[in-house]
Amino acid sequence: MKKICLFLMFLITLSACDEGGILITVPSVGNYEFTINSDEANGSTNNSYTAERLVDPSALFTEDSELIKNITLNQLTYEISDYFGTAGNDVLMSLSLSTELNGTTTEVLSVTGITLANGLFTAFESGNASSQLSAAQVASLEAIINNQEPFNLIVTAGFDKDIESDFTVEVVWDITASISQNTN
């Protein structure tokens, strides 16, 4: 029995290693805030507003990017805050989240018909079957973060009628990196 336990411990240790050493997991969170300007949204021909932020994935971890073997998305949320609308004057919103790298834009989230209201919304949570993101959208976002090159994160909000105030959309992703640690 003792030999079997030692052998199992050896296998577990071996499975945690790769060519460069032991793989460790390091969590990180990226927060990106976008202000939706009501004057610009209401003044546009289709009642929409687009904002973008430059995201540098290498800033999410202190480890050397060459040691990062894989990045996994655990959760993606968006929070709407600071909206002040008249009760009974509901506004329907569509929200799109896209990435843009080297001239290629990829939509990773698209939700429509949501009532514009302050609150926290979970778009993706690992293991939750009722995700707003498809497996392909999750894989696309993981791939662009794994690329470790700066990219644009783009939020587009559209409305069925004029909105009554500016508000903020904060996009937050919780990710985990598998990082190779040298054993030398």
Q: What is the C-alpha separation between 9 and 2, in angstroms, rounded?
A: 11
**Phi, psi at residue 40, to the nearest 5°?**
-70, -40
Identity of the amino acid at 39: D
32: which strand partners?
A: 171
- Over residues 39-54, the pLDDT tens digits come to 999 999 999 999 999 9
Q: Which CATH architecture has domain 27-181?
A: Sandwich (2.60)
- Over residues 82-110, the pLDDT tens digits come to 999 887 889 999 999 999 999 999 999 99
- Min mean pLDDT across 6-15, 53-62, 74-83, 138-147 is at 6-15
Identity of the amino acid at 59: A
Give pLDDT, residue 1. 56
- 75 versus 12: the higher-pLDDT residue is 75
Domain residue extents for the chain: 27-181
- 8 versus 121: the higher-pLDDT residue is 121
Both tokens of 29, joined, read 């969170």
pTM: 0.82
Question: If pLDDT is split at 50, 70 and 90, which confidence band does 23 have?
Answer: confident
**8 Å CB contact between 49 and 116:** no
Angstrom CA distances, 133 to 44, 70, 84, 109, 122, stand at: 28, 20, 28, 6, 10
- Over residues 53-71, the pLDDT tens digits come to 999 988 888 877 778 888 8
